[in-house]
Structure 1
Amino acid sequence: MRIASFNVNSVKARMANLVDWLRAAGPDVVCLQELKTIEMPTEEVEDAGYNVRYVGQKTYNGVAILAKESIEVEEERLPGEAEDEQARYLQALIGGRLRVASIYLPNGNPIDTEKFPYKLRWMARLRDQAAGLLALEEPLVLAGDYNVCPTDGDCYDPAAFRDDALCQPESRSAFRRLLNLGLTDALMAIDPGPRRYTYWDYQGRALERNNGLRIDHLLLSPQAADLLVDAGVDRAPREKEKPSDHTPVWCELDI
């Protein structure tokens, strides 16, 4: 089973590219982020062979799960802060055998505003949710745009991002606390080489120069990590006309 995470940066604007990629790459499960719409158009995705579940939000955020098998939704918001209505988390059981969550973690910039404490609170809530899911001792993939570069090696120019929320010590510490629950970073387990990015800015020929960031991650429970066969980054969608600024990261499980 191939599981992918893809921040599409407006699903309506990228629908043609998304469907082309689905047909070409054929992932079994896809977690989408940044839909930027209340109502996601689903007909073309369904015609490509996928079931669709999503939670949308006008102009911002929005997450979805696509799967060739059945999707049983379990959570449509991240628990822990009842007043938080942002559409950033969707959790489901796929085919009765794999639990996944599509995650769009807050960016947190500028760091001198309320946006950064909100990011850290959200990460603490995600850790609590992950701890509960790990207690089930079942295959689990927490997939999404985490808006965190875990190390300086995940950023093409650490000095330039010193004041960015993606690279703050507090953000990285919160990400480590999540991993320390027993989660495995799928891409790093398979291909820990340098400059393996998932995001490139539209400006300054960033893609051509490989001036990118690794902020999209697939975190696996021990039961899923035991089944890990392969993982990688698919740059093809980023190289298309009018692409998202992200590209899919994927892993393959023998499940």
Structure 2
Amino acid sequence: MKIATWNVNSIRTRLGHVVDWLSQNHVDVLCMQETKVVDEKFPCAAFEQLGYHLYLSGQKAYNGVAIASREPLEDVSRGFTPILLDVQPDWDEQKRVITGVIHGIRIVNLYVPNGSAVGSEKYEYKLGWLTVLQEYLRSLLLSSPAICMCGDFNIALEDNDIHNSVSTENHIMASEAERQALRDILLLGFADAFRKFTSEGGHYSWWDYRAVSFRRNLGWRIDHHYLTPNLYERAKSCTIDVAPRKLAQPSDHTPVIVEF
């Protein structure tokens, strides 16, 4: 089984890129983030023609997550509130979480808030959101021991996940508070699939549109697959496909694929 994650940065803008990629890369599941469209206007037909079932949680112009799966998913839910019944509904106003089960594997597709700038209101929201995510995952683990948590985390956990011309001190997506929040989540029993196979730096999943960052490989690895122990042992590979980032008008992110 192959599961891919890709921040598509507007599915309607990038539809041709995504459909072409799926036609050439026969993944079983594609988790998309930043779809930026309400569910009623999601271009479902293009995916259905390729044989995918779609599960959506979108909003106009911002955020949005979706899962395209070759086989129907079970136990699909959107947001934190179906799992955390006592959580404030405000945490689900932004569409950032969708989950479902395929062949006993629970896939959790996430679009973690960016945070804007260290110390800002959006930064504090990000840290609060990650705290809620930790409790959400803790609840899921009670009934789902096999979890693939993937998506755009907007956090580079280690310095070798970032090109070396960046000073990480108090830098958004690399501040110590963000990293610690993610470490606390991983302590629930998750491991980084990519680092099982690749230890060196220089491998990235996001490049800023500015300063010809992609051509200079000034990237960040912020799109991840985190696996529970049983899935981590079963993982055969985890790769970053940079080809879509080379296209005209690409997403600033590129797909990351884990295979079991």
**Would you say same fold, with TM above 0.5?**
yes
TM-score, scaled relative to structure 1:
0.94
1:15 to 2:22 alignment: no
Matching residue's letter, 1:252: E
Q: Secondary structure of 1:83's partner?
A: helix
Within-5 A mapping of 1:22-171: 22-38=22-38, 39-79=41-81, 80-84=87-91, 85-94=93-102, 96-136=103-143, 138-157=145-164, 159-171=166-178
Give the alignment's Cα RMSD to 1 decimal.
Answer: 1.4
Contact 2:206–2:252 (CA<8 Å) still a contact in 1? yes
Residue 137 of structure 1: CA displacement? 5.1
Q: Secondary structure of 2:236's partner?
A: strand
Contact 2:159–2:168 (CA<8 Å) still a contact in 1? no
| Distance in 2 between residues matched to 1:97 and 1:134, nearest whole Å | 13
Matching residue's letter, 2:34: E
Q: Gapped runs of 5+ residues in structure 2?
A: 82-86
Matching residue's letter, 2:6: F
Matching residue's letter, 1:6: W
| Distance in 2 between residues matched to 1:125 and 1:223, nearest whole Å | 24
Residue 93 of structure 1: CA displacement? 1.2
Deviations 1:118-155 (A, max 9, x none): 10111111111112222335321011000001011111
Residue 196 of structure 1: CA displacement? 1.0
Question: Relative to structure 1, is the Cα distance of residues 158 and 182 closer, same or farther in structure 2, using a 3 angstrom cutoff?
Answer: farther
TM-score, scaled relative to structure 2:
0.93
Q: Gapped runs of 5+ residues in structure 1?
A: none
Matching residue's letter, 2:210: Q
Identity %: 35
Matching residue's letter, 1:131: R
| Distance in 2 between residues matched to 1:161 and 1:107, nearest whole Å | 15
Moved over 3 A (4+): 157-163
Segment drifting more, 110-119 vs 152-161: 152-161
Deviations 1:54-80 (A, max 9, x none): 111111000000111112343211243
Question: Relative to structure 1, is the Cα distance of residues 147 and 246 closer, same or farther in structure 2, using a 3 angstrom cutoff?
Answer: same
Matching residue's letter, 2:97: Y
Residue 160 of structure 1: CA displacement? 4.2
| Distance in 2 between residues matched to 1:65 and 1:105, nearest whole Å | 16
